Chain A
Amino acid sequence: MAGTGGLFIEILTAAPGHLGGMSDDADAEADVDAEAGVDTEAEAVDTTADSVDTEAEAVDTTADSVDTEADAVDPDEVRHVADLARIDLADADVDRFTEQFADILASFEALDEVPEVDREEELANVMRPDEEREGLTQEEALANAPETEDGYFKGPRVS
């Protein structure tokens, strides 16, 4: 992803499951390959070095400051999570969410009482032959895009 001047995602491999076929393996490809923005976002939450550093700090701060008051969030933390989730929030939303999250996270505290439980999953891999099959045409795959250029999705500049 690094080094691209603008975000043009090639759709030749777009699979029919690009929206809605979560369980389809082709969909998994489309969602991982084609969703440049999403990949970045997922990384931002879990692994992107920069945001994790920031986050780790935020977490430490919280842990220090709320020893007595079980994990209430402050407005800055709500803004930080909104940044990670790529959702722009108005100030009024931040205040409201801060208040609501305090209640909701306080209820989640009950999970501390849950014992460790051994999983008894009976899971088996589901495989199929890796064969070519019909996918969407380029036109179909682009039909819902707000803007396209030369057969590509058009996105904002990656900066």
Chain B
Amino acid sequence: MATDYNAYVTAEPIEGADDGPLAGKTVAVKDNISTEGVRTTCGSAMLDDYVPPYDATVVERLTEAGATIPGKTNMDEFGMGTTTETSAFGPVENPAAPGHVPGGSSGGSAAVVAAGDADMALGSDTGGSIRCPAAFCGVVGIKPTYGLVSRYGLVAYANSLEQIGPIAPGVEEAAELLEVIAGPDGRDATTRAPPNADAAGGDGHDLDYASAADGDVDGLDIGVPTELVAGADERVTDVFWDAIADLEDRGASYHEVELPSVEYAVESYYVIAMSEASSNLARFDGVRYGQSGGYDGNWNETFAESRRKGFGDEVKRRVLLGTYALSAGYHDKYYAKAQDARAWIQQDFDEALDEADVLASPTMPVPPMALGESLDDPLTMYLADANTTPVNMANLPAISVPAGETDEGLPVGLQFVGPAFGERAIIRAGSALA
């Protein structure tokens, strides 16, 4: 049961339409995605009684497609974490690896799917928050191309990096869920119709992803970025190379590629994400929503009191570091350099994808950590995002599929990265494994 591993913050069902492509299916929703009339906490004490007055676009599309939402899933506070241990509602345990973290920040969403408590789930991915928990829980997760899925109603952490995406037991189901949520939205000016004709109907609403999940990798050309394999734990790379060999047996080929820029991905990602977070989370002052800091005394002190009570340690850390990185005298040193790194990463990926259909790497450089192991050392936790953050920096689509298990039985995920709006390519490649 989902309650045993603390996967739901709120288990209050929202019924969908009687028919539609997802009729009869349950789709759990991460608790940073707004649901009208149902509490949406972002895993934060700041919002523990916040009830949105409107639905996120993806929630409207889910219920119109017939899905029932069984509840809102636990997550790292405001999406800030790699283990789902920073939630104000307590950590989530990994149902596929008891005693271990489920990955994060969409840990509750991956956990309910892995345990079979929901058919599918939605997560959000700012620097790996769909792919990491999918990998750690042995399920499939897709981080769509930036702009494919509406963020309207997603409580923002770092707008320029994040996308909502599906988590499911298999690639085909994940692709079916992606078809429902993808496509332009007038309420999110950063959405657009996929330009490639094979993936889109005229207005971009008639998307076809599930048909690409045919497992056919004959002739597939896979690039393997050496930097993303070299730093990984041997228990992970053993499983990774076995999976690549399996794909070769089925007609795929691989070659190594070099992406020198990704050596700077984690650092530049955190500078950009923290900077955006420091601005986005400024709205939480306890006046329109959130924990009130009271009404006496100086307003700056009152807001500071609201934010002391409402935010957990990891959120405070990122808001402070983001404020620091943007402050006078440091902006050029940190933020401007991080934007250079982002452009460089984009160029490296574009070039590598000119010579390959997809790129492949371990999703996470390590197997799931034991619960409590990484809490006191934020930098080590950040470095675990080495393979996922470059994809967000490059705005590209990626899928994590189960590749096997370590000798200790811990799930290992393999990540395929595709060109912008190349969701069909990563879905086809992934479907050969899951």
Alpha-carbon distance between A81 and B324 when the two chains are bound, in angstroms? 6
Give A142 Cβ to nearest chain B Cβ, in Å: 8
Complex-state Cα separation, A116 to B186, whole angstroms:
35
State whether A97 touches B320 (Cβ < 8 A). Answer: yes
Taken residue by residue from 81 to 117, chain A's Cβ proximity to chain B (1 for < 8 Å, 0 otherwise) reads as: 1111111111001000100110111011011111111
Q: Mark A132-159, 1 if CB is under 8 A from B, else 0.
A: 0000100011011111000001111111
B379 touches A19 (CB 8 A): no
CB distance from B328 to the nearest CB of A (A): 5
Complex contact B288–A22 (CB within 8 A): no
Cβ of B316 and Cβ of A93 under 8 Å apart? yes
Q: Does B293 contact A (CB under 8 A)?
A: yes
Which A residues are in CB contact (< 8 Å) with B347? Answer: 117, 120
Closest chain B residue, CB of each to CB of A47: B328
Is residue B346 within 8 Å, beta carbon to beta carbon, of the partner chain? yes
Contact A46 B268 (CB under 8 A): no
Chain B 130-172 interface residues, beta-carbon cutoff 8 Å to A? 150-156, 159
Contact of B343 among A41, A119, A140, A155 (CB under 8 A): A119
Knowing A19-B34, A31-B283, A55-B328 are in contact, say whether A111-B308 is a contact too (CB < 8 A). Answer: no
In the assembly, what is the distance between CA of A17 and CA of B288, in Å?
Answer: 13
Please judge, given known A-B contacts A22-B154, A45-B326, A82-B320, whether A145 and B287 are in contact too, CB under 8 Å.
yes
A110-B264, A145-B287 as given contacts; A117 in contact with B343, CB under 8 Å: yes
The residue from B188, B283, B289, B321 contacting A101, defined by CB atoms under 8 A apart: B321
- Tell me the complex Cα distance, A81–B278, Å: 11
Q: Which of A83, A110, A120, A145 contacts B288 (CB 8 A)?
A: A145
Q: Report the minimum CB–CB distance from B39 to chain A (whole Å).
A: 10
Q: How far is the CB of A86 from chain B (nearest CB, A)?
A: 4
Considering the chains assembled together, what is the distance between the CA atoms of A18 and B50 in angstroms? 12
**Which of B40, B159, B304 is in CB contact (< 8 Å) with A86?**
B304
| A42–B289 touching, CB < 8 Å | no
Say whether B271 faces chain A, with CB atoms less than 8 Å apart: yes
Given A23-B189, A87-B304, A146-B290, are A81 and B34 also a contact pair (CB < 8 Å)?
Answer: no
Given B54, B153, B261, which contacts A136 in the complex, CB threshold below 8 Å? B54
Complex interface residues of chain A between 39 and 87 (CB less than 8 A to chain B): 41-42, 45-46, 52, 55-56, 59-60, 63, 73, 78, 81-87
Contacting A at CB under 8 A, from B328-355, are: 328-330, 333-334, 337-341, 343-344, 346-347
Question: Would B288 and A20 count as touching, CB distance under 8 A?
Answer: no
Q: Residue A2 at the B interface, CB < 8 A?
A: no
Residues of chain A contacted by B255 (CB below 8 angstroms): none
Q: A37-B303, A156-B295 are in contact. Are A87 and B340 (CB under 8 A)?
A: no
Q: Which of B190, B313, B327, B337 contacts A114 (CB 8 A)?
A: B337
Q: Which of B261-277 contact A (CB under 8 A)?
A: 261, 263-264, 266-268, 270-271
Complex contact A144–B50 (CB within 8 A) = yes
Question: A34 CA to B304 CA in the complex, in Å?
Answer: 19
Which residues of A from 1 to 34 have beta carbons under 8 Å from B?
Answer: 7, 9, 16-25, 31, 34
Contact with A88, one of B285, B305, B337 (Cβ below 8 angstroms)? B305
**A118 interfacial contact with B, CB 8 Å:** yes
B86 smallest CB distance to A (angstroms): 14
How far, in angstroms, from A38 to B285 measured CA to CA in the complex?
A: 8
B421 at the interface (CB under 8 A from A): no
Chain B residue at smallest Cβ distance from A139: B53
B375 to chain A, nearest CB (A): 12
Q: Contact size class for B? A: 35 or more
B296 touches A45 (CB 8 A): no
Q: Is the CB of B151 within 8 A of A117?
A: no
In contact, A141 and B53 (Cβ under 8 angstroms)? yes
Please measure, in the bound complex, the distance between the C-alpha atom of A100 and the C-alpha atom of B390, giving whole angstroms: 24
Instruction: State whether A7 and B188 are in contact (beta carbons under 8 Å apart), knowing that A45-B323, A84-B323, A108-B334 are contacts in the complex.
Output: no
Known contacts being A103-B379, A108-B271, is A9 close to B337, with CB within 8 Å?
A: no
A104 touches B379 (CB 8 A): yes
In whole angstroms, what is the CA distance A60 to B196 when docked? 52
Distance (Å) between the CB of A37 and the closest chain B CB? 4
Nearest-neighbour CB distance to chain B for A141, whole angstroms, equals 7
Max chain A C-beta neighbours (<10 A), residue from B282, B305, B379? B282
With a cutoff of 8 Å between Cβ atoms, the chain B residues found around residue A103 in the complex are 379
Q: Which of A's residues lie within 8 Å of B, judged by CB?
A: 7, 9, 16-25, 31, 34-35, 37-38, 41-42, 45-46, 52, 55-56, 59-60, 63, 73, 78, 81-90, 93, 97, 100-101, 103-105, 107-108, 110-120, 126, 128, 136, 140-141, 143-147, 153-159
Given contacts A17-B152, A59-B330, A85-B319, could you give 6 more A-B pairs where the C-beta distance is less than 8 Å?
A: A20-B154, A23-B159, A93-B313, A103-B379, A107-B379, A143-B51
Query: Which residues in B have some Cβ–Cβ distance to A below 8 Å?
Result: 33-34, 40, 49-54, 56, 150-156, 159, 186-191, 261, 263-264, 266-268, 270-271, 278-280, 282-283, 285-305, 307-308, 311, 313, 316-317, 319-321, 323-330, 333-334, 337-341, 343-344, 346-347, 378-379, 382
Ordered by A's residue number, 16 sampled pairs between the chains whose C-beta atoms are within 8 Å are A17-B152, A20-B40, A25-B189, A31-B283, A37-B282, A45-B323, A82-B320, A86-B300, A86-B304, A90-B308, A108-B271, A111-B267, A117-B347, A153-B288, A157-B299, A158-B299
